[in-house]
């Protein structure tokens, strides 16, 4: 038998606490994470130069530069493939339901973006040597 105070405070009753871990990340949070990652990667790749925005369409060239394919005959074919990878990876990242898959795909996305940004920096360094 519980007193009125115990009933009010919920002390005498067993609390129904749900300890289940959410297995899904809200889409809004995924969108924010995804676009902030893109912005950071583009800032790194452009060395925070605002004029570099006009070369955004050439961003995949950084990935090709790392693998020394920027002068290859297959470069025009790889350019759209890299953009297609980024677009499809983004769609899948934003639509996946399980946290585990989100983090795996996001890790792949970050690794490719870092390699790409490093290639962009390498390319800009080489261009800087040419310009004097």
pLDDT tens digits along 92-108: 999 999 999 999 999 99
In a domain, 98, yes or no: yes
What average pLDDT does the chain have? 83
Tell me whether residue 4 is in a domain.
no
Number of structural domains, the chain?
1
Compute CA 127 distance to the chain's CA centroid, rounded to the nearest angstrom: 27
The beta strand positions in the chain, using DSSP E, are none
- Is residue 19 domain-resident? no
Q: Using the predicted structure, report yes or no on whether residue 48 has a pLDDT greater than 70.
A: yes
Question: Residue 112 has what pLDDT?
Answer: 94
Has residue 60 been placed in a domain?
yes
The whole-number pLDDT of residue 14 equals 58
Instruction: Establish if 2 belongs to a structural domain.
Output: no
Residue 68 falls within a domain, yes or no? Answer: yes
Contact assessment for residue 12 and residue 88, using Cβ atoms and an 8 Å cutoff? no
Measured in whole angstroms, how far is the alpha carbon of residue 126 from the centre of its chain?
Answer: 27
Structural domain boundaries, residue 67: 24-131
The pLDDT value given to residue 18? 59
Assigned domain for 5 exists: no
Taking a C-beta distance cutoff of 8 angstroms, is the pair 109, 94 a contact? no
Q: Give yes or no for a contact between 123 and 65, defined as CB atoms under 8 angstroms apart.
A: yes
Query: Could you tell me the pLDDT band of residue 5, with boundaries at 50, 70 and 90?
Result: low
Quick check: is 93 in a domain? yes
């Amino acid at each position: 038998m519980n007193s009125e105070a115990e009933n009010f405070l919920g002390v005498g009753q067993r609390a129904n606490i749900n300890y289940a871990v959410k297995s899904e990340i809200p889409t809004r949070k995924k969108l924010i994470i995804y676009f902030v990652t893109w912005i950071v990667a583009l800032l790194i790749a452009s060395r925070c130069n605002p004029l570099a925005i006009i070369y955004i369409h050439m961003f995949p060239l950084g990935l090709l530069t790392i693998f020394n394919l920027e002068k290859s005959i297959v470069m025009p074919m790889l350019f759209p493939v890299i953009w297609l990878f980024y677009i499809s990876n983004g769609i899948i990242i934003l639509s996946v339901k399980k946290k585990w898959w989100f983090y795996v795909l996001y890790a792949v996305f970050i690794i490719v973006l870092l390699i790409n940004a490093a290639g962009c920096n390498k390319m800009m360094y080489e261009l800087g040597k040419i310009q004097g």
